[in-house]
């Protein structure tokens, strides 16, 4: 919010007009459109896509706008002034903001008319949070936005790609989330409070448009601003762009395969085994597999892996001694688990290399 007071000049003009009987022109009663950029560190500091988007809007004639939020600007120097207010919080996840009800006080303070939401990056780390859980958090946040303002216009980003060295599952998990967003938005949008999808994924390269596989560099910020602008301009014009159909994100090529099989099963228990094969053109130093049980199976023991189970979702990583796989090489790990003694469906297993 740029804070420039013209109160003194207005008072002087009023006094002169009254003293000399001058007819006054009608003062504009149109309040600026309040726009909240909502996100994590990609939005917060420096979050220079906000500066570039603001400048693009101003030069295109959208001057009656106000970026709002409780977070001060991270500092971007492009040779022009811009409104730095935002609601970007470094390290925050969509699920955390929703679970802890952090959004309502931010909305109450900023009172936005439009929200630009780029959230979900921090939900990707480690591959522990299923896509459905992130979308459920989105749904709760949308409900809180509409409780704050029934006419809220919501622009949700297909988040930018991420491929950090310490997260072999992140790239594929972003693809899964981004592919699910248009259908989620189409099911929740209303005429009064439309949800518009901004495709920030397409054309963004995590290798060249970020400095660390996550946070954009100047080229990445420019691409983000360019992708935000068309749907925001349409919303400002009173036109709601369609939320679907939108092109699906193309998954990255598979770099490994994982094969699941049941070795044996008996009353209420079974033994499973998963084989991991390096199908890439280079040796690997780590691997991660994920799968989701459909029939309430619960793992109680595992070997040759570091394994966690969160609800129905299982994440299994290499042990300290079997992460290195030459090209074409494979390794196996196993586990014992309980089942309902009726159905023991084989899950689909995803695999990634580090």
DSSP character string of 291-313: EE-SS--EEEEEESSEEEEETTE
Q: Between 24 and 97, where is the model more confident?
A: 97
Mean pLDDT of 72-89: 89
Confidence (pLDDT) at 265: 87
Same domain, 206 and 349: no
16 in a structural domain: no
Q: What is the pLDDT of residue 78?
A: 87
Arithmetic mean of pLDDT, 201-229? 93
228 and 265, same domain (yes or no): no
Q: Are residues 137 and 273 in the same domain?
A: no
Query: Do both 85 and 162 map to the same domain?
Result: yes
- Distance, in Å, from the CA atom of 173 to the CA atom of 319, rounded to the nearest integer, reads 22
pLDDT digits (tens, 9 = 90+) for 289-329: 999 999 899 999 999 999 999 989 999 999 999 999 998 89
What is the per-residue pLDDT for 249?
56
Q: Which of 148-162, 233-247, 270-284 has the lowest mean pLDDT?
A: 233-247
Is the pLDDT assigned to residue 351 strictly greater than 80? yes
Q: Within this chain, do residues 52 and 109 fall inside the same structural domain, yes or no?
A: yes
- Out of 25-39, 138-152, 180-194, pick the least confident: 25-39
Range of weakest confidence among 4-8, 160-164, 177-181, 280-284: 4-8
pLDDT at 11: 36
* CA-to-CA dists, residue 180 to 47, 138, 288, angstroms: 25, 12, 22
Check whether residue 82 and residue 226 sit in a common domain: yes
- What mean pLDDT comes out for the span 129-146? 96
Q: Note whether 200 and 289 are same-domain residues.
A: no
Number of domains in the chain: 2
Confidence class for position 149, pLDDT limits 50, 70, 90: very high
- Overall average pLDDT of the 16-43 stretch: 64
For residue 15, pLDDT beyond 80 = no
Q: What pTM did the predictor assign?
A: 0.64
Does residue 354 carry a pLDDT above 80?
no
Work out the end-to-end distance of the chain between its first and last CA atoms, rounded to an integer number of angstroms. 43
Q: What is the Cα–Cα distance from 195 to 14, expressed in whole angstroms? A: 43
pLDDT at 77 over 80: yes
Instruction: Looking at the structure, tell me whether residues 263 and 224 fall in a common domain.
Output: no
Please indicate, yes or no, if residue 17 is contained in any of the structural domains. Answer: no
Residue 156 sits in the same domain as residue 227: yes
Which residue from 224, 242, 244, 209 is spatially nearest to 39, judged by alpha carbons?
224
Mean of per-residue pLDDT scores for the chain: 87
What's the pLDDT score for residue 72? Answer: 84
**Domain with 37 in it: what CATH number?**
3.40.50.1110
- Bridge partners (DSSP) of residue 278 are 256
Q: Is residue 285 part of a domain?
A: yes
Domain assignment present for 169: yes
Q: 88-92, 148-152, 247-251: lowest mean pLDDT where?
A: 247-251
Dmax of the chain from CA atoms? 100
Q: 224 and 265, same structural domain?
A: no
Domain coverage including residue 40: 30-236
Which tokens belong to 341? 């003694």
CATH number for 325: 2.60.40.290
Task: Please check whether residues 305 and 212 belong to one and the same domain.
Answer: no
């Amino acid at each position: 919010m740029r804070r420039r007071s013209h109160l003194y000049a207005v008072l002087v003009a009023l006094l002169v007009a009254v003293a000399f009987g001058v007819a006054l022109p009608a003062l504009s009663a149109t309040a600026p459109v309040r726009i909240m950029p909502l996100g994590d560190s990609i939005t917060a500091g420096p979050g220079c896509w906000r500066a570039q988007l603001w400048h693009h809007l101003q030069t295109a004639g959208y001057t009656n706008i106000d970026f709002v939020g409780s977070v001060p600007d991270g500092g971007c120097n492009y040779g022009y002034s811009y409104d730095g207010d935002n609601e970007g919080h470094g390290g925050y996840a969509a699920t955390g903001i929703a679970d802890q009800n952090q959004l309502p006080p931010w909305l109450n303070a900023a009172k936005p008319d439009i929200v630009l939401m780029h959230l979900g990056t921090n939900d990707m780390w480690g591959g522990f949070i299923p896509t459905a859980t992130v979308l459920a958090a989105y749904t709760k946040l949308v409900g809180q936005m509409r409780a704050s303002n029934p006419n809220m216009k919501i622009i949700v980003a297909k988040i930018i790609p991420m491929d950090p060295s310490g997260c072999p599952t992140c790239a594929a998990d972003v693809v899964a989330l981004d592919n699910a967003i248009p259908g989620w938005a189409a099911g929740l949008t209303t005429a009064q409070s439309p949800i518009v999808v901004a495709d920030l994924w397409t054309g963004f390269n995590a290798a060249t448009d970020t400095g660390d596989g996550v946070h954009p560099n100047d080229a990445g910020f420019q691409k983000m601003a360019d992708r935000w602008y068309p749907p925001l301009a349409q919303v400002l014009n009173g036109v709601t762009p369609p939320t679907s159909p939108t092109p699906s994100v193309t998954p990255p090529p598979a770099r490994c395969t994982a094969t699941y099989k049941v070795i044996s099963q008996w009353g209420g228990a079974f033994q499973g085994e998963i084989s991991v094969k390096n199908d890439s053109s280079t040796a690997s130093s780590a691997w991660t597999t994920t799968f989701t049980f459909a029939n309430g199976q619960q793992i109680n023991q595992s070997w040759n892996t570091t394994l966690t189970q969160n609800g129905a979702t299982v994440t299994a990583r290499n042990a300290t001694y079997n992460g290195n796989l030459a090209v074409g090489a494979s390794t196996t790990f196993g586990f014992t688990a309980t089942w309902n003694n009726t159905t023991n469906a084989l899950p689909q297993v995803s695999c990634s290399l580090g």
